[in-house]
Amino acid sequence: MSRSRQQQTDDDDPQPKRLIYEKKERLQQIRDRYWEEGVEGQRSNQTKRWLATVMLQFYDVLHEYRDETVLSDDDFPDISPIRERIGEQTTVISSSKRVGGGQTVETVPAINELSEAYLIDLSEQLDDLAKKLGFSAQPITQRPMYHVGIRNESEYDEPVVDSIAKPLAGDDDGISGIRYSKLYHDWYSRVATGNPNDYVIAISADPRSTGVSGTGKTTLGGGLAKDWFDHSESGYDADVQYTLDASTLAYDMYNETDELSVLIGDEMQGTPATSGLNAKRSMKGEALDTINAIAAGRSDRKTVILIVQDLKALNKDALTFVDSWLLIRNDREFIATHYEVAPDVFDLQSRQTRTPGVERITWNSLPKDDPDYRVMEEKKARAKKGQREYQTDEEEEDDEISKDARDDKIRDLYEQGIPQKKIAGAFGLTQQSVSNIVNETED
């Protein structure tokens, strides 16, 4: 007996996955039989009942994955019309085909009441659910989810800054480097060329194949910033462009960074010191202001990277503005799946968001001795201890020094060669304010 296409590609899958593939293939077989009977004009209720049975079984094995991050609340179809009829009978009155035979009454399974259109539509919804979970049939010859050869370098406009590399096209083994990826193709078209746009990336890790912490989320975000997406005049500076505070992202980073900067908000599910953009804790003013800042700053040629433990933790209003989601699958070989994030703008009730997978990408690890990496790790450590990056008005009153003493300290630091941007971050000022202070002349 020849093996099915799906069996040939998934022999090494664990038992739950094989069971899903088996039910999916069985469903297709019954559906094929159903269509064949329809063509012959001889559809039977028995085939309809087989179809309902296999769908119940398929639904049950898929239900194990109901908490997966890629799923929305309404991805599982309503199968209650089938469940309600299990074990039930219904009475059918029909006319005898014999002349003068009259009418006959018989009792049949209640499943027979269900319409053919409902059953076929339900079977296709289950196929869509399986596909979203990654259980779709794959060709024997594996190809990347996104074929990088679709576009080539000559088809792209010149970037607004000469140093920005154009996306490349070419063949690969199913895992793309950043420059070949659809992520980079999309970012380049949105930010580096044409009308000014921002680009928002969410990063999380799959806890089934990685740990909860130490999974490379911060090194991925920092690496994307330093190596690919930050083309600001001064370059990526974690002192100024990395935060764990939604308030800092909203009130300071958008206003104090240049065009083509990358802004990183880490631990956006919240820490002991911050509320972040957590769906359950983000009604604070700074979180709402952050969402508004992202919404209002969509034409600044900036890239915003939101790092979170679980995408579901993000406030739905924030998720509306996310363009791409990177889910780290392998934190040893640095492999992530890139999902597009597409909110349903016409569904004003549930605001359902679809996240189709488009490619697998890999990146280079950010060295732990990198100065920006050390700054990011230090800020994370302080936040987890409950230390905020900003002070309240009361705290500022306790620590207040005279303006003259502050200005003298700023001038001393500048004379020591400390960049104005870093001085500004240390004193909670804008770079322009620091510039005015160090260039101030006595009357």
Q: Are strands 324-330 and 335-340 parallel, antiparallel or unpaired?
A: antiparallel
Model pLDDT, residue 341: 82
State the CB neighbour count (10 A cutoff) for residue 399: 7
Q: Which amino acid is at 25?
A: E
Contact 155, 169 (CB under 8 A): no
Model pLDDT, residue 284: 55
Model pLDDT, residue 8: 39
Q: What is the residue-level pLDDT of the chain in tens, covering all 443 positions?
A: 333 333 434 444 556 677 888 888 888 888 888 887 877 777 788 888 888 998 898 898 888 888 776 777 678 888 899 999 888 888 877 665 555 556 677 788 888 888 888 888 888 888 888 887 877 654 333 445 676 666 667 778 889 998 899 998 765 556 788 988 899 999 999 999 988 888 999 998 887 777 656 668 888 899 899 999 999 988 899 888 998 887 777 777 877 888 899 999 888 776 655 655 554 444 455 566 666 666 666 678 999 998 888 877 676 666 777 889 999 888 778 888 898 887 665 655 555 667 778 888 888 878 888 899 899 988 888 877 766 665 444 444 444 556 777 888 888 888 878 888 778 877 777 888 888 888 874 43
Q: Which residue has the tokens 């690890």?
A: 365
Model pLDDT, residue 351: 57
Name the phi and psi angles at 304, rounded to 5.
-110, 125
Q: CA nearest 57: which of 90, 21, 7?
A: 21
Q: Which tokens belong to 263?
A: 């802004």
- Count the alpha carbons within 13 Å of 393 in the hemisphere toward its beta carbon: 0
Model pLDDT, residue 358: 82
